[in-house]
Chains A and B, each alone.
Chain A
Amino acid sequence: MPTVRQYFETDFSHTVRIHVKFMLPEEGEIEALWLVDFLGYMSFLTCYVPGEDARSISICDLSGPLNTAKLK
């Protein structure tokens, strides 16, 4: 069975994928992708949160770096 990680790496294969990574105090190192769909004229973000035991994921913590990611 494909893993969550494999789906993160292979989903949206029609887009240009720009990889960034950043550290969060709780979640650790986060990998994010800025996906640019030139055909649909739309871009969006995906991120991978490792570790099976994170009690919660804070969108507040993710939001800042993700917004910076798209600006870079």
Chain B
Amino acid sequence: MTLRGNIGLPAARQFPGQLAIENTAQFQVRAQFFGDPGSISANEVQMSKRIFIYSETQLSDEDVMKLKEEGRKLGHEVQFRSQTHAMMRSRQDKPLAFISYDSRDRNIAQSIAIGLQRLMCSVWYDEFSLKVGDNLRDSIERGLKECRKCVLILSQNFFSNGGWTKKEFDSVFTREVLEKSQLILPIWSGIEKQHSPSLLNVKGLDWNQLGQDEVCRRLYLAIEAQDSPHS
């Protein structure tokens, strides 16, 4: 058994305190929470019975149950994670909705992104989904390709923007035609439907009239209906 000399620490935002690694005869990791004069050693922390096994081998349900049973006899509670787990999780992690907006309407887009996330509806929203170093075009294209629905924040700003928002709109519109499906969920803000003849037949939501909670609730229902295996 060898210690790889590799210790991963949580991101600063995820840990409200300080962590110290003491590389003495008895190796130790100590934690101290902000404002708490005491500290805890990793060795004092209670050991759970849980063991997660990540395996590239795809076992049958029967073999997994045997493994769990074998674990229980030895005092462990085994959780088995293989390719089936990875596949199902990745399906769930995919954004259900893409939010397209003009940067001047960021407050509306952010309210919708937060509101939908609170309802456990994953969204592609640039501020949440783009990391430093990401290829902007690739990431947006992937988001547009994988999403089930596209929420468009339609305002005077949106229609006067000839850059990204126009490209996103064109891309979703093309996808709608090719897939013969209804992907666009329009949110109107301060303008009338007549601004976009192509959206005249799509029922949208009026941001100023309904507000964040109601818009998010109705969007969620529309996205969830699409997500449902019975739809």
Alpha-carbon separation in the docked complex, A72 to B82 (Å): 27
Contact A4 B8 (CB under 8 A): no
Chain B residues contacting A72 (CB-CB under 8 Å) are 1, 3, 27
Q: Which of A17, A62, A69 contacts B1 (CB 8 A)?
A: A69
* B residues apposed to A, CB below 8 Å: 1-11, 14-15, 17, 19, 27, 29, 31, 33, 40, 42, 45-48, 50-59, 63, 67, 70-71, 74, 76, 78, 81-83, 85-87, 89-90, 93
What chain A residues lie within 8 Å of B2 (beta carbons)? Answer: 20-22
User: Could you tell me which A residues sit within 8 Å of B by CB distance?
Assistant: 1-8, 11, 13-22, 31, 33-34, 36-39, 41-60, 62-63, 65-66, 68-70, 72
Label chain A's interface by main secondary structure. Answer: mixed
Bound complex: CA A43 to CA B29 (Å): 12
Across-interface contacts of B17 in A (CB, < 8 A): 38
Shortest distance from the beta carbon of B88 to any chain A beta carbon, whole Å = 10
Indicate if the CB atoms of A49 and B57 lie closer than 8 Å: yes
In the assembly, what is the distance between CA of A52 and CA of B87, in Å? 15
17 residue pairs bridging A and B, Cβ less than 8 Å apart: A2-B90, A6-B86, A7-B81, A14-B14, A16-B19, A17-B8, A19-B6, A20-B2, A22-B2, A44-B48, A46-B51, A47-B53, A52-B57, A58-B70, A59-B70, A59-B76, A60-B74
CB-CB nearest in chain A for B82: A4
A16 and B10 within 8 A (CB): yes
- Known: A13-B11, A46-B52, A51-B56; 4 extra A-B contacts, CB below 8 A, are A4-B54, A16-B7, A33-B8, A44-B47
Q: Which residues of A contact B89 (CB under 8 A)?
A: 2, 7
Q: Please, which residues of chain A bring their CB within 8 A of the CB of B55?
A: 4, 48-49, 54, 57
Minimum-distance CB pairs A-B, first 7: A17-B8, A8-B54, A19-B6, A19-B4, A46-B52, A38-B31, A49-B55
Q: How far, in Å, is B52 (CB) from chain A's closest CB?
A: 4
Chain B: minimal CB distance from A16 (Å): 5
| Chain B positions within 8 Å of A41 at CB level | 40, 45-46
Known: A2-B90, A19-B8, A20-B3. A62 touches B53 (CB 8 A): yes
Q: Which residue of A lies closest to B16 (CB)?
A: A39
* Distance, CA A52 to CA B199, complexed state (A): 49
| Residues of chain B lying within 8 A (CB to CB) of residue A13 | 10-11, 14
Q: A42-B45, A72-B27 are in contact. Are A51 and B57 (CB under 8 A)?
A: yes
Q: Using known A-B contacts A1-B87, A38-B40, determine if residue A43 contacts B1 with beta carbons closer than 8 Å.
A: no
> Are B85 and A4 neighbours in the complex by a CB distance under 8 Å?
yes
Residues A45 and B9 in contact in the complex (CB < 8 Å), given A7-B85, A57-B59, A59-B74:
no
A16 to B32, CA, bound (A): 13
